[in-house]
Each structure stands twice: as C-alpha cells, then as structure tokens.
Structure 1
Amino acid sequence: FIEGKPDIDRLNRAFTEIIRRHESLRTSFEVSGDDMLQRVHESVDFKITVKEGRESDIEKLAQEFIQPFDLSHPPLLRVCLVKLSENRCLLLMDVHHIVADGISANIIVREFLELYQGHSLPPVSAQYRDYAAWQESYLKSERLKKQEIFWLNQFSDEIPVLNLPTDFPRPARQQFDGDHVWFSSDAETAKSLSILAKNTGSSMFMLTLAAFYVLLHKLSNQEDIVAGIASGGRGQKEFEHTVGMFVNTLPIRQKLTHPSPSQEGSKTMSFSEFLNLMKKDLLNIYDHQEYPFELLIRNVRANNYSPLRSSGNMSRNLLSDVMFNFENADDRIFIIEGLRFSPYDFKPKAALTDLLLEIIETSGSLNMRLEYCTKLFKRETIERWAVYYRNILKEIITDPNKPLSDIDILPQHEKRQVISDFNDTRASYPKHKTISELFEEQVRKTPDAVALIFE
C-alpha cells in the first residue's frame, strides 16, 4: 500500500532503470528444436498500468492482476498502480519465478525506493549469466562429487512417505488447488521463543522448524519425516544483489526418536535433544546446500525405488510433500518523501505441496500461514492444525526438556471431546430383541445399503 500521492512518471522511471540494471528482467525464453534458449535483450518496453479501484475489491483486483506471462516477450515483470482514494494506492508487482526469487523481490523493492528518490545506485557486480557460468563450472568440480555423496547417503534407504490424515482421497494426479490460513503468536510467546532460541544456541528458524516437525510427527504418528526448506542459493558474495532464480530446495530428513533405546529402554527423545540433533544436521546440510535439487531428484530416482515415490506415481512429490519457510521482515514499512509504503501480503489460491508452513518474524510477533491443498484438506482441519502448532510452541516454552511423546497439542475443549464425548456410547435400544432380530429389521429398512466394508 502507498499512503500519499506517488508520482507516476517517477514510478515508471524507477522500474525502467531496474529492468535496465538486471539482465534477468530483460531475458526471453525460446524453444529451438529440443533446446530451451535464453535471449538477453538490450532494451525492452515497459510502462506501469494505472487504474482505479475500491478498497473492498482489493483481493479481486490482485487476483485479476496475476495473469500468465509470454516467456518469449520480456520483461517478465509487470506493475500496476491501483488508485483507491485520493491519498491511498495499491502498488501490485508480478514477476515470473523463472527470472526471480524471493530475495530478488526484496532487491527490486530496495532499488525502487532508492531510484524513486532520485538516488544513483552502484553498478550490479554480477549478472545471472555469471551465475550460470559459475554453476557450469561447479557441476564439473570435485566439490559437487563430495556433495552428491552426502545427499545420496541421506536417501540411501527407502524414502519415508508422510501420511497426514486427509479429509479427501488423494487424487491419482497431484493437484495444485490451494488456500491458506493466517494465524499469529502473541508478543509474550514470541519473546519467550526468542529467549529459548538464545539459550539453546539455535535460531528462531531452527526452533520453529523443529516445532513443525513435532506437529507433523503428532499428526502422522511417524518418526522418520522429510520436509523441504528453501536455500537462498547465493553462497558467492558477488551474487548478493543480483536479480535471478537462485533458490534451491533442501529436503531435510529428521528422525524423532533415538537411533537405539536409551539405558532405560526408551527411544523417546526430548524436544531439546531433538533440537540439538536437528541443529547439527542443518549446519552440515548448509555445507552442502549448493547441490542442485533437480540433480538430487534425478539421482535418487535412479538409485532408490519406493512404490509411493516412484516416477510413475503422479500423486506426490518424490522426496517431500511438505515445506517450511521462515522470513525476517522487520523492515517492511518504508517512509520516503511523504509516502508511506507498507506490505500487502496477497497469496494466490494455489499450493505446490500438500502443506506449507510460512513464518514471518516481525518486531515482537510471529505471523504464520499454513498453505494447503484443498483437494486433500478442509479449511477447518487446517485451522485446527494451526491451533495445534501454537500449543506446541507454548509447550516447548514451558518445558523444552519435555519428551516429544508428552507434548500435548490438543486444546482443552478438543481433549474433553475426545476423552469424554466420543467415549459416551450410551444409546437406548429395544432390549426385548436379539442382535439377529435387530439386524434383520435393518435389512428390511435398507436392503440395498452397504452392510460391511473390508480393506
């Protein structure tokens, strides 16, 4: 959102300069025989679309703004300014994922704010073509071979399949219809989590990711779980300010029990033990984060056969059906030259995985979003899981050494429903009749109804 009256000409000049600075935004994609070619154009035409709209129609306007791109006609970036009132506007920006990632979006915003004020920017130190050259060299290096061994060892045995309790049967082919549920923590919970992260030598990202694994463990009753996280893919300093698609998916496999029973004979692990083990695994994984996810998929598929994860199974992703994303967003409100910029977090109704938990850390709070596949889950189910996740956060704050098996996810009213209401099986029935007589009576009432199902 923009509070104030932006100058349209300055908006156009700012975005035109951003496109000039970054080759990715001037790139087109063309098919030549069996090959996909990228062509970087010297210049492209660009102009912001300006229209008027009403505050009540914002979500509809944003949804209509998102349209397919023609990859052969750059720029693969479009911007629209919607005038909501005399002193309030909505600035919409859509960029194709093939030329930009989340960090790229932040780069574009930062450069826009500087250029709108008339400030000059230093030249971009490296373009995306330089990254492509670096990656080509990396793919032939010894470093890749070492990282490949690491990743293939992670998935050398049968790949675990996470079976979350769905509301609908899983379609034969993966569907991407989605929706999301927003929820948040209170300031006291966020502060306590920050203290816990500091005391355990971890980060808020590690802490909330560990809690997410506990949620998946509780929902599925499984102990071997794979969840994907996104890596920025910018290990080389020269690419820190380059717009492009650098992001790499890292499938994180975690086991929520001890490898072997403890002296007491129990495999149960406490939350703090799990957090410490996961922290060590993550630090090791970050040392191997350059290995391309697409290459891992190809090699795992060639070396590991699992019926539910095979290439012939179109209903699931190969390694993981759930994702986790954490973002620090303390600097998302900007004030320049009488204009106040604040974020409008519009999320299209789509889901690339069964379930995604996104956490945005802002000053004093955690804003969270569960994105889910609507072909698998009802909204009320995801709303309930959001409550479970908040309860897990509160439980680990209260006692981080609590065994995972003892962490309680149910709210009191649901616990009462499960323990008391569902077990109240008392019902009146005709006591003068036998079971066989009652069965025959039901047959006469509904002769074509299913009597028994065996799976």
Structure 2
Amino acid sequence: MGGVRPGRRTAAAARTGEARRDPVPGADLAPVCTPARRRRPVCPRPAQRRRQSQPPAAAREVRSAVKAFARTRIPRRERTDLAPASEIQRSMWFLEQAGRAGAYNIGLSVRVRGPLDPGALRRALLAVARRHETLRSVFVAEGGEVRVRTLPVEEFAELLFPADWDGSTEAPFAVDGGPLFRARLTSASPTEHLLSLCFHHVVYDGGSAALFWEDLWQAYAGAELAELEIQYADYAVWQQERLDGGLLARQAAWWAGHLDGAPVLSTVPPDRPRPARRTGEGRELRGRVPAEVYGALTRLARAETATVYMVVLAALQAVIGLASGRSDVLVGSPVSGRVRPELRPLIGCFVNTLVMRADLAGDPSFLDHLRATRLGVLDAFDHQEVPFDRVVESVNPPRLPGTSPLFQVLYAHQGTSGEAVPPPAGLTVEPVDERTSTAKFDLLLTTWEEDSGLVLSLEYATELYDDKSAGRFLRELLELLTTAVTDPGTPLSALGTGPWREPAADTVPAASAPEPDDTPWSPTEEFLRDVWARLLGRTDIGRRADFFDLGGHSFMGIRMLNRVRQEYGVELPAGVLFEARTLEGLAAAVDRGLRGTAPAEMVRLAPGEGPPLLLVHPVGGGISCYVPLARQLPMPVYGIEAVGLDSVEAMADAYLEAAAPLLDQGPVAFGGWSMGGVVAFEMARRTEAASGRTVPVVLIDSHVPDPDAEAPDEADLVQWFAADWGASAGGDLGEGITGRAELWRRAEERGLLDPGQDGDTVRRLLDRFETNIAAVGRFRVPSGHRGPVRLLAAAGESWAAGDRGWGAVTSGGLTVTAVPGDHYGIMADPALPGEVADFLKGAVCHD
C-alpha cells in the first residue's frame, strides 16, 4: 500500500510461445524449468537402453511395477473449495516467500501482425483459462500447509487485463490473491500489435508453452475447447498418494546413496568471493555449434544410442571438471515431469530437477565418459519422480549461504524447434527475443537445435563472473565439443586448458553440536528448542545449532514458523530460515518481531548503471508500489520497507545504517512517495550534518507535515486507510467507512478480503499504517538542508501549496515539476512512469 492523500488537517516455447527464461531460484530448494523456446518440452528424449542385465528377481519386480503403472489412471477428484498443492507448487510458494518478489515470473511477448480482433483474443484467453483451472489458481497458507483455490471464470475475467500492469516480467504477482496469469495488448495500428503475457512459474512451465498457444489460437478461431479428462489438482492428489505409497522412500534412498559424499561446490572457479546473499543479477551470452560439428555430434549420439543432450552434458561436465581441477562433478538438469500420458495435455508446473553426477577420475577418454554419462542419465530418469526438495531433504548436504545445494550449474536442453503452432489465417506472430538480466545459478547453459546447428545460451551470475570469464567458459565448451565429437577417443585432459585456479577446499561450517554454555536459555530459545526437537526428532540441539545441518528442510521450516506465529503472534518471513539459521539467530528474530524492531534492510528493486536511487516506503509501509517505476529507470534502484519504528528520526537512523554500503560506494540519491519523501529528506539532512556530504532528494508528491494538526481519531484513521488500501489495490471502497467492521464488510464486497477471513493480515497492515501516520504527524522538519531537492507534485491536488511546504526548509535549491494525476495516480497511472523516470534520472545524476 502506498501513501495517504494529505488533507489540510492530515498529519501525514513454440516460436509463438518463446519466452524469457525462468526466474531466479532461492538459495535452498531450486525446482527449475526453462520455458520452452521451441515447441518441445525441456526434458531430454530418453535414449534406448543398453545395460547389463538385471538379476531375474529384480527384473520381474521392475516389469511388474511398469505394468501396474501402465494400467492405472489418474482419477478425477471430487471438487472442493481448497485443493492440495503439488510438491513443486509448495516449493515454489516457499521460494516466493523467501526470495525476491517477481523472481518466479515467466514473461513472454509476441508481435502480432494482421487484423487482430481484441475481443476475440480476450475471449480466447478466457477459454484457455476455463479449460486449464490451474491458470486461475491462488494459494492459501493454512496451519503450515499450502492449499490452492480456483477463481471462478467470471472473477478471473475481471483480473486478466490489469490496468496497472505495464507488461514487464518482473512486476510481482500476489500469490495469495491472484491471479497468477495476466495479459496486456497494445496496438500501434489496426495491423500492428504487441501481446504481452506473464505467468507465475507455480502455474506454468516450459512444457506448457505449446499447449497454451495451440489452445489459444484454436479458441481465437472459434473452436470450442474440449473439457480435459483431469485437472492439475487431480495430479497433485495423485502425486501425493503415489509418493506416500512407498515411491518416495524407495527413490529418495537411491538418491541418498547416489549423492553420498558429493562435493559441496561443483562449479567453475569464480572471479570474486561468493556473497552470503545473492541479488540474482546476471547476463546472457550466446554461441553456436557450426553445422559440420553439429553433424558429427548427432552421428556420435546415434552411434552410442545416446542423445544430443547426453553428448552436451558430458562435454559440460568435462569442462567444469577441467576448469575446477575436480573429478567429481554435479550438474542439475530439468525434466518435464509429465510422467503419464494423461498429464501431457495439461498446462501447469510439472518440472522437476535431477542431479547428474560424473566421475572423471583416471582421465577417461571422452567416449568412455559419454558412455558413463548415458547410463547415469538413464538411472536418474528411473528415479525422476522424487521432487528435488525431497532429494535435498534425503541427502541433507552441507549448506553454503547464497548457494543452491547439490549443484551450482544447470543444463537444460530444449530439443528441436519442431513445427510452430500456427496462428489463424491472416495473422503472423513473431516472438520478441529478450535477453536475460538475471542469473538463477552460477551458470545456466541452455541449448536448442535449429536447422543450421545447435544454439548455446549461457546465463551467468555477474556477482561471481566477469564477462571475460563467461566468454572463456563458452569458448572452451565449444572447443571441447568440436574436438570430442570428431575424435571421441581423446583423453579429457587433452581437451581443455586445465584448472583456471588452484582447486580450493569446500569451506562449510561444521555441523553444530550442543556446546557448553552456562548462560540461561531465554524463554524464546527454550520454546524453539522444544519445537525443533519435535520436528527433527532429536535432542542434541545447541544454541548455535544450524536448522538445516540438523536435518531440517524448507517444509519443516514452514511448520516451525507457523508454530511461532501461533505462540507469539509474530509473522516471520520464510526468508528468515536462510538468514537466521541457528536457534539463537531465530530466537533473536522472534524477539525483534515481538518488539517490532526488525533491522531495516535494503531490497534491490532493479539493476542498472550509475549512481543508485534509494526509495523509502510510503505510509502503507511496503515498497511494491515502486516496482513498476524502478524497472523503467536506468540506474540501480533500492527500497526500504517499514520495520515498525515509531518516529521519523528513528527511521532515518535505521535506514541510513542499512544504506551504508551505498553511501560508501559513491554518489547516491534518496527519495520516496508521500511519507517516504519526508523520511528520505531527514536521511539526507542527517547525512549532511554528520559528514558535510549533500545527497539529492527526490520527493514524489510529499508534503511537509504539520505537527500542530489534530491527531486522527479512529474514524479518520480507518477512513484514510480505506482510501489508501482501495487506491493501492486498484479499487474504491467508497465513502463513509468509519469503523473496522464496516471496512471488513466493504473489503469483502469488493473482493479485497475473502468472506469469513479473519483479517489478521489486514489488521497488521492497519496497525503499521497507524504507526506511520502517528510518526509523520509528530515530526517537525528541520530547515536549512543545502542539498538539491526535486519535488514531483501531483497537478490534481489543486488545494495543496505548489511547493508542498518544502521551500521553507531548503536552501540548496528546490525544483518543482507538476505532472498530471492525483496523489495516487502518480504511482498507479501507467501513463505517468515515463515522466517520473525522466525526472528521477536527472535527480540521481545530480543535474
């Protein structure tokens, strides 16, 4: 939620389905999928098997299991209001809570030429969403469990084309409010159109692309889409029953044995130390295997009853081993997860990630290594139904902060381009090819086959690798492939340049054991120790015990946080599991939550070049209102959310401490909308007083508060909150709301609050709103600030002073620019961000 309007007395794929790749996974569980650049799903095509024969009893057991699996069908479940989430949906939900908002979005844009009918397109999109219920899903957390609610088609229809979405992939979804699929159509002329679509990964994966476009164009042409035999929710129930029926135990045991003793890190030596917290920033580099080399590659694959995927995977493992100087190499690889025929017509997130382990000891030839890789891939495929997070739980590897477990390099092969799904006659469709600016892992290699050869895309983390190192890696991979496929008998040591740097030992914190400590345990620590003991089934828990080292995993962590909420009423974000990993650290986080004084932290909203801009939260306390603006600015943009402080002075000090890394780097600008501008101004003033350094301030329709104004009563507070909440949510709750009961009733009527919902979340938002209103209402802005101040004033607020009162407290030059719109329209109107962007660019560059 954003700012309150100050009153006079107010105190405050197929080619048609080509998509940008999947978003940034978190530092713990990483079920990943790379959206299809071409029609085929991302899973590699299984190769014909040539293995040693199994013992007769084992062979009979396998044949019996295969026949039983083939005879069964996934049943259609009885429909209920709330359905179970699948394993990967629960993982994705958790990562969304723990990571950066918008990181799990899959966006794609296509240019449509011809006489496109917008009405027919809208009806077609709704027809696809009607057929595939998962596209209308929203997620609800209850008692530590994640459940799925399907929006009615009529309700979804009102949300499909959000007016405040600018088409950017990064704009966050409200996972708990939905929808998780949105569209935008812009037309330059009757025959020139840009269709932008965005899905949350929790309802869509790379294997969904061709299905989506085929259904869309059929519905656009007037065909009626047949009802599906089953829905994604039926799969979720079936999957859980299958895992609980013994499959999980059997396959997880295989993975635990297969990955026993695996290295903590399996990657190319980075140029810089690995940060404890990753921002997900990255770049993409592309290359191409020449046609003649590609021909030799495919011939080698056929000769060895292998696939192109297996040959490239073997080469990738070899390059990693040579560059790192290690013989034990692990690479992650996604598979489509559609393990039954009845799942193939379904849109949804089925993808799973397998860990491909290679033993390069003894310097084998590339041919011997390929043969071993082929068998390893087939073994992994035999055990692909165990969700990746359950593999992590079973193996329980040591964790390094900011690093995905088990592997740090991912390889996804997307097959051949196949036949594009054709649009209706008279229309042509061309994908908009967008290069990524994110990195999900250290390195992510994606390949796809075209008529002219094999295309390679390397996505790399710029926090770890320079452009030069990324280029070297891709070059060495291409060179190794060229030599290996033409002379596969060559030893691996002769195919590369050797280690890039001296191999370093894995540095992993030792598992915690009960440490001698005479200091009495706090009540919070004792409570958490009991919770951990019940969840983990062990009593050897010390203060500095690491939750994950003791066998904890993310789903267990969700249950633990739910117990904290029930006992203390403190809502901790899922990300605290990775930041406060020890019992001591988690207890401190709970105690801070009880005091309402969690430390302020900067959140990166958008990357960029040049001096950064730091935006302070408005009166609502959140910073999501800045995301659309941040994505259109050329400079890096950061935000700071409210942490429960009850004075502007305390906020300024806490936020300056959080912003110290930016101030140490060089020039920076502070800014904010509404109340955020007031706090930003005080931060700049304090910086100047402490160091003599002037910091430009960007004020977005901020007013100098009047501490002599009457404090709001309950009726005023609820009315202002209602106006702010409604405007931020894109709705209007109406006039005359003077009490909380009426606020709840109106919110339910407008669809902002589910009927019967207890409203705890809204109560917390209202409490935060009240705290911030009171803080800014008491604040008297000191005068004499010498730094430049830029005010972007809403022209629609004609009652307000043109300079909003800032002229009286500044001496370094105040620039006022009036822009169309009212107080809320500045942030919400899609026509205004361009003007805001230009204005802020000038301020940050210190014009």
Counterpart for residue 141 of structure 2: 31
3-state SS in 2 of match to 1:70: coil
Structure 2: which amino acid aligns with 1:100?
Y
Q: Which residue matches 1:5?
A: 115
The amino acid of 1:184's aligned partner reads R
Measure the CA separation in 2 of the matches of 1:181 and 1:294: 29
Please, what TM-score do these two structures have when normalized by structure 1? 0.79
Q: How does 1:111-260 map to 2 (within 5 A)?
A: 111-257=215-361
Report the Cα offset of residue 190 of structure 1: 2.2
CA separation of 1:66 and 1:139: change in aligned 2, threshold 3 A: same
Change (3 A) 1:88 1:235: same
Q: CA deviation at 1:196?
A: 2.0
Go from structure 1 to structure 2 and tell me whether the alpha carbon gap of 1:80 and 1:233 turns closer, same or farther (over 3 Å shift).
same
Amino acid of the residue matched to residue 135 of structure 1? Q
Q: What number of residue pairs does the alignment pair up?
A: 383
Question: Could you tell me which amino acid in structure 2 is paired with residue 210 of structure 1?
Answer: A
Q: CA deviation at 1:335?
A: 4.9
Aligned to 2:391: 296
User: In the alignment, what sits opposite 1:55?
Assistant: none
Structure-2 change in CA distance of 1:69 and 1:50 (3 Å):
closer
Q: Deviations for 1:348-406, whole angstroms, at most 9, x for unmatched residues? A: 42112110000011223222110111100112221222211111121112201111111
> For the structure 1 residues 392 and 333, does the alpha-carbon distance in structure 2 shift closer, same or farther, using more than 3 Å as the test?
farther
Please give the per-residue CA displacement for 1:243-281, whole angstroms capped at 9, x wherever unaligned: 211111111111113xxxxxxxxx220111111111011
Q: Which runs of structure 1 show a deviation greater than 6 angstroms over 4 or more consecutive aligned residues?
A: none
Mapped contact 1:391–1:409 kept (Cα < 8 A): no
CA distance in 1, matches of 2:433, 2:254: 37
| Paired letter, 2:293 | T
SS in 2 for 1:132: helix
Residue in 2 that maps onto 1:407: 495
Q: Distance in 2 between matches of 1:392 and 1:86?
A: 50
Indicate how the Cα distance of structure 1 residues 133 and 333 shifts in structure 2: closer, same or farther if over 3 A, else same. Answer: closer
Partner of 1:317: 404
Question: Paired residue for 2:203, among 61, 81, 99?
Answer: 99
Partner letter of residue 176 of structure 1?
A: G
1:89 match: 193
Alpha-carbon contact 2:323-2:497 (below 8 Å) kept: no
Query: % of aligned pairs identical?
Result: 29
> Is contact 1:161-1:320 (8 Å) kept?
yes
Alpha carbons 1:46, 1:75 under 8 Å: kept: no
**Counterparts of residues 360-439 of structure 1 (less than 5 Å):** 360-408=448-496
Deviations 1:22-80 (A, max 9, x none): 111111112334333311122212577599xxxxxxxxx76x35310012333311122
> How high is the TM-score relative to the length of structure 2?
0.43
Task: Report the CA distance shift for 1:323/1:296 in structure 2 as closer, same or farther (over 3 A).
Answer: same
Q: Retained in 1: the 8 A contact 2:173–2:200? A: yes
Relative to structure 1, the CA distance from residue 47 to residue 112 in structure 2 (aligned partners, 3 Å threshold; closer, same or farther) is: farther
> Structure 2: how far apart are the matches of 1:101 and 1:42?
22
The CA deviation at 1:158 is 4.4
CA contact (8 A) 1:170 1:315 kept: yes
- Indicate the structure with greater strand content: 1
Amino acid at match of 2:172: P
1:279 equivalent in alignment to 2:374 = yes
The whole-number CA distance in structure 1 between the counterparts of 2:161 and 2:451 is: 33
Counterpart-to-counterpart distance in 2, 1:388 and 1:89: 41
Listed one character per residue, the Cα deviations across residues 204-241 of structure 1 (whole Å, up to 9, x for unaligned) are 11111111111211211111011100011111111111
Q: Larger deviation: 90-99 or 139-148?
A: 139-148
Partner Cα distance (2:157, 2:423) in 1: 29
Q: Which amino acid aligns with 1:161?
A: L
Q: Give the aligned partner of residue 453 of structure 1.
A: none
Provide Cα deviations, 1:126-172, integer angstroms capped at 9, x if missing partner.
Answer: 11111111111112223322212211111222434225221222112
Query: Contact 1:80/1:93 (CA < 8 Å) preserved in 2?
Result: yes
Task: In structure 1, give the amino acid aligned to 2:139.
Answer: F
Whether 2:157 is the aligned partner of 1:45: answer yes
CA spacing shift, 1:383–1:153, aligned 2, 3 Å: same
Tell me the secondary structure at the aligned position of residue 327 of structure 1.
Answer: strand
| CA 35–148 in structure 1, closer or farther in 2 if over 3 Å, else same | closer
- For residue 659 of structure 2, what is the aligned residue in structure 1? none
Question: Residues 100 and 244 of structure 1 are in contact (CA less than 8 Å); yes or no, is this contact kept in structure 2?
Answer: yes
Distance 2:453 2:433 in 1: 16
Letter matched to residue 212 of structure 2: I
2:216 counterpart letter in structure 1:
F
Pick the aligned partner of 1:270 from 344, 357, 365: 365
Q: Structure 1 pair 191/3, CA: closer, same or farther in 2 (3 Å)? A: farther
CA RMSD of aligned residues (A): 2.2
Is 2:201–2:349's contact at 8 Å kept on the other side of the alignment?
A: yes
Structure 1 residues 163, 73: closer, same or farther in 2, change over 3 A? closer
- One-letter amino acid of the structure 1 residue matched with residue 424 of structure 2: I
Show structure 2 runs of 5+ residues with no match.
Answer: 1-110, 499-847
Shift of 1:116: 1.8
SS state at 1:336 partner? coil
- What is the alpha-carbon distance in structure 2 between the residues aligned to residue 355 and residue 158 of structure 1? 19
SS in 2 for 1:98: helix
Matched residue SS, 2:285: strand
- Alignment correspondent of 1:77: 181
Over alpha carbons, which structure has the higher Rg?
2
RCO higher in structure (CA 8 A, sep ≥6)? 1
> In the TM superposition, what are the counterparts of 1:51-66 in structure 2 within 5 Å?
64-66=168-170
Residue 431 of structure 2 aligns to a residue in which SS? coil
Q: Compared with structure 1, are the counterparts of its residues 399 and 13 closer, same or farther at alpha carbon in structure 2 (3 Å cutoff)?
A: same
Q: Look up the SS of the partner of 1:80 in the other structure.
A: strand
**Cα distance, 1:239–1:400 mapped onto 2, change above 3 Å:** same
Q: Could you tell me whether the CA contact under 8 Å between 1:332 and 1:342 is conserved in 2?
A: no
How far off is 1:333 after superposition?
6.5
The worse-fitting range, judged by mean Cα deviation, of 12-21 and 137-146 is 137-146
- CA shift for structure 1 position 173: 2.4
- C-alpha distance in 2 between matches for 1:46 and 1:375: 41
- Asked whether the 8 Å contact 2:352–2:388 carries over to 1, the reply is yes
Distance 2:272 2:115 in 1: 48
Helix, strand or coil for the counterpart of 1:140? helix
How far is 1:321 from its partner? 0.7
Task: Summarize the Cα distance change of 1:345–1:50 in structure 2 as closer, same or farther, 3 Å threshold.
Answer: farther
Distance 1:142 1:30, change over 3 A: closer
For residue 404 of structure 2, what is the amino acid of its counterpart?
N
- Matches of 2:274 and 2:496, distance apart in 1: 28
Mapped to 1, the partners of 2:145 and 2:196 lie a distance apart of 33
Q: Is residue 21–residue 124 contact of structure 1 (8 Å, CA) maintained in 2?
A: yes
Question: Is residue 334–residue 342 contact of structure 1 (8 Å, CA) maintained in 2?
Answer: no
- The 8 Å contact of residues 181 and 383 in structure 1, kept in 2 or not, is answered as yes
